[in-house]
């Protein structure tokens, strides 16, 4: 499709990036890449940072659709999706409810368990009222080491690996800075994997599995987005049967939450028996030079620009506006 046809098909496109979450810096990198890619395809794409411009200004832009390249709160959690529904602007990624649920690691795990999907055992702790004695009892159920996580932040924000009782309070306090509750989760020792999923419903499909090998197994914020020390193997070196099983689980996990458009599903593969466990799902994954969705798509023969266009094509509204309603 030539540039003129691209412009005609998509109209005026907004790329929403930046925002005011703890992941703003990464979102700026993701959005800049997406904007350049869409413009390179001849699409009439424009940058829009919700941290610097109001929803009234967003409405004034009269975008025909938007590509959400925001990460974390206020962009990936259903709040922006609700505003776009109200404005009648089709957007990429999951709708209001799926975005909200997927941003909550606890609710995500509860729904997966209701679908008999494997996820590590966990406990939920109140960030303000959990006593030292209650903290001491958590490892009785989950064992050591264990993970403490802020359940409404990105996968590397507000997270601590705890190896003994002496570390529990510091790890808990670290997570409490980000959230009202803390997720304590069984630690699964093994290989870290991730699987992008594209599409919706029965049309959902998994892309190649990526294995992440971070220094000392520490895939933190720095190693995730900025370091060149982390190794990525794509497709992951797994046998065909296990690869298919993990990809199938990724699609099941995606559809259980009602996700749409695209997302990335994170796993741990237990070393002792090669059993996969679902950790979380990201409904607006990174699109930076270190990001895993473009890496996986490339292994499937889909370049960065074409991936951005495919995602943009999926832009939609959860609820179609009334036939009598027209935007201002």
* CA nearest to 312, candidates 95, 92, 99, 94: 92
Choosing from 24, 65, 191, 264, the catalytic residue is 264
328 counts as catalytic: no
User: Do residues 171 and 148 make contact, with C-beta atoms less than 8 angstroms apart?
Assistant: yes
Q: Looking at 178, 219, 225, 304, which residue is catalytic?
A: 225
φ, ψ for residue 188, nearest 5 deg: -105, 110
Per the annotation, the verdict on 31 as an active-site residue is: no
Told to judge if 286 belongs to the known catalytic residues of this protein, a careful annotator would answer yes
Pairing of strands 181-186, 146-149: antiparallel
Which listed residue (31, 190, 199, 286) is catalytic? 286
Q: What is the DSSP string of 226-265?
A: T-S--EEESS-S--HHHHHHHHHHHHHHHHHTT-EEEEEE
Kindly state the DSSP code that residue 90 receives in the 8-state scheme: -
- 264 counts as catalytic: yes
186 is catalytic: no
Contact 75, 81 (CB under 8 A): no
133 catalytic per annotation: no
Q: Say which of 14, 18, 23, 305 is annotated catalytic.
A: 23
**Which is the catalytic residue, given 100, 176, 282, 284?**
282
What is the rounded CA–CA span in Å between residue 81 and residue 92? Answer: 9
Verify whether residue 91 is a known catalytic residue.
no
User: Beta strand 190-200 with 260-270: parallel, antiparallel or unpaired?
Assistant: antiparallel
Active site residue 305: no
Given the residues 21, 155, 160, 284, select the one marked as catalytic.
155
Of 104, 192, 280, 318, which one is the catalytic site residue?
Answer: 280
**Which of 85, 211, 266, 305 does the annotation list as catalytic?**
266
CA distances from 219 to 65, 143, 167, 189, 321 (A): 34, 21, 19, 13, 43
DSSP string, 144-176: SSEEEE-TTS-TTSSEEEE-SHHHHHHHHHHHH
For 41, residues 6+ apart whose C-beta sits below 8 A from its C-beta are 3, 6, 305, 308, 309
* Helix (H/G/I), strand (E/B), else coil: 17: coil
Catalytic residues, which ones?
23, 155, 225, 264, 266, 280, 282, 286
């Amino acid at each position: 499709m030539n540039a003129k046809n691209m412009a005609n098909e998509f109209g005026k496109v907004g790329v929403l990036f930046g925002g005011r979450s703890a992941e703003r810096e990464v979102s700026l990198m993701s959005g800049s890449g997406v904007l350049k890619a869409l413009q390179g395809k001849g699409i009439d794409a424009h940058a829009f940072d919700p941290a610097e411009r109001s929803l009234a200004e967003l409405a004034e832009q009269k975008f025909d659709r938007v590509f959400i390249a925001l990460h974390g709160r206020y962009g990936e959690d259903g709040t922006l999706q609700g505003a776009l529904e109200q404005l009648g602007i089709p957007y990429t990624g999951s709708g209001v409810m799926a975005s909200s649920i997927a941003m909550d690691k606890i609710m995500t795990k509860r729904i997966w368990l209701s679908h008999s999907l494997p996820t590590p055992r966990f406990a939920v702790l109140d960030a303000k009222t959990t006593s030292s004695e209650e903290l001491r009892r958590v490892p009785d159920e989950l064992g050591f080491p264990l993970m403490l996580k802020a359940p409404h932040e990105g996968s590397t924000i507000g997270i601590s690996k705890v190896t003994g009782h002496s570390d529990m309070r510091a790890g808990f306090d670290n997570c409490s800075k980000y959230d009202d509750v803390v997720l304590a989760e069984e630690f699964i020792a093994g290989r870290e994997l991730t699987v992008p999923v594209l599409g919706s419903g029965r049309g959902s499909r998994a892309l190649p599995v990526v294995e992440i090998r971070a220094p000392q197994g520490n895939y933190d914020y720095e190693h995730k987005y900025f370091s060149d020390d982390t190794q990525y193997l794509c497709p992951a070196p797994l046998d065909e049967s296990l690869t298919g099983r993990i990809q199938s689980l990724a699609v099941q996990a995606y559809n259980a939450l009602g996700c749409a458009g695209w997302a990335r599903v994170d796993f741990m593969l237990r070393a002792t028996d090669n059993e996969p466990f679902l950790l979380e799902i990201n409904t607006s994954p990174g699109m930076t030079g270190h990001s895993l969705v473009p890496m996986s798509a490339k292994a499937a023969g889909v370049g960065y620009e074409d991936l951005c266009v495919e995602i943009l094509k999926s832009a939609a509204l959860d609820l179609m506006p009334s036939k009598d309603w027209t935007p201002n």
